[in-house]
Amino acid sequence: MAALELCNVVKHYPTRGETVRAVDGVSLAVEPGEFVAIYGPSGSGKTTLLLLAAALMAPDSGSVWFGGRDVTDLAPREAARFRRHEVGFVFQSFHLMPAASALDNAAVKLLASGLTLQAAHHRARPWLERVGLGARVEHTPRELSKGECQRVAIARALAGEPQVLLADEPTGNLDSKRSREVLGLLRELSDERGIPVLLVTHDPQAVRVVDRACTLRDGVLHDGLDVEAIEAAPS
């Protein structure tokens, strides 16, 4: 059984004079422990596809399945619970609280689950240590590099021990060295924990660490990596 499956998912956006076909009949299955990358330039529909997979957005048609459960039309409260307990989401822009410590940022999702501050810190701290920030837990995002902020975001996503990790352009704000470090970290975590990872990116170097790569063009998913099309397009 696939850990995550999208079945003929469609999401269109009506605009003045035309309809943007952001996701146009996409089917994709991510197996347990598999690391899958979806490539494409900005505007290709990658983020929309990830939001659909996380039940942050409902498709116009098609269905999203998680561990054999249909999560396509969850009520808002059920969808929030699903994301809180089952999904780890890594945002490109980090979405960290600027005045809070790395430890507080990594623990915030656990606090939303009802844990006490002490219990949330106890569970989040090992993940910060795992991503190489054990000595920086009291530093705020203002005191951390972009690469370190992305590591905090990854620790936050994993602190709740999700069943799947979704990453939206996690190297988009990083230089090539930090990008390699973050991609390598995601690969290690996937291997160690058996967590399926779905990564959307326009960074061709990610192909070195994933199990499978697809390309999203004009809302349509194609097997394999079209490097020429991606590198020629504005990111």
Note the pLDDT tens digit of each residue in 202-222: 888 888 899 999 999 889 999
Contact 235, 203 (CB under 8 A): no
Task: Check whether 201 has a pLDDT greater than 70.
Answer: yes
Kindly report the CATH number assigned to the domain that includes residue 186.
3.40.50.300
Name residue, tokens 């059984």.
1
**pTM check: above 0.85:** yes
Residues 156 and 188: their CA atoms lie apart, in Å, by 16
Domains in the chain, number: 1
* Element of type H or E holding 230: helix 227-232
Domain coverage including residue 197: 32-46+76-232
Helical pair 146-159 and 176-193, crossing angle rounded to 10 deg: 20
Six token digits for residue 123:
């569970």
pLDDT score at 227:
58
Question: What SS3 string covers 46-61?
Answer: HHHHHHHHCCCCCCCE
Q: Is residue 187 part of a domain?
A: yes
List all residues 6 or more positions away from 108 whose beta carbon is below 8 Å from its beta carbon: 97, 100, 120, 156
